[in-house]
Amino acid sequence: MVDKGVLQTIEVVSFDYGQKHRKELTCAKSLAQVLDLRWELIDLTSFGPQLRSSLTTPHVPIPEGHYAAENMKQTVVPNRNAIFLSVAAGIAISRDLNTVAAAYHTGDHAIYPDCRPAFIDSFNRMLALATEWTPVRVQAPYIKTSKAGILKAGLKLGVPYEKTWTCYVGLDAACGRCGTCVERLEAFEENGADDPLVYSDRRYWKTVVDV
From first CA to last CA, the distance across the chain in angstroms is: 32
One of 32, 100, 175, 187 touching Zn ion (CB under 5 A): 175
Closest approach, Cβ 187 to Zn ion, in A, equals 14
Q: Which part of the chain contacts Zn ion (CB under 5 A), choosing from 25-33, 117-125, 150-158, 163-171?
A: 163-171
Question: SS3 of 158, please?
Answer: coil
- Binding of Zn ion at residue 167 (CB under 5 A)? yes
Please provide the DSSP assignment of 88-146 as one string. Answer: HHHHHHHTT--EEE----GGGTTT-GGGSHHHHHHHHHHHHHHTTTS--EEE-TTTTS-
For helices 80-94 and 117-130, the axis angle rounded to 10 degrees is 40
Closest approach, Cβ 38 to Zn ion, in A, equals 29
- Kindly state the number of chain residues that form the binding site for Zn ion, as judged by CB under 5 A: 5
- Binding of Zn ion at residue 185 (CB under 5 A)? no
- Binding of Zn ion at residue 182 (CB under 5 A)? no
The contact set with Zn ion (CB under 5 A) reads 167, 169, 175, 178, 181
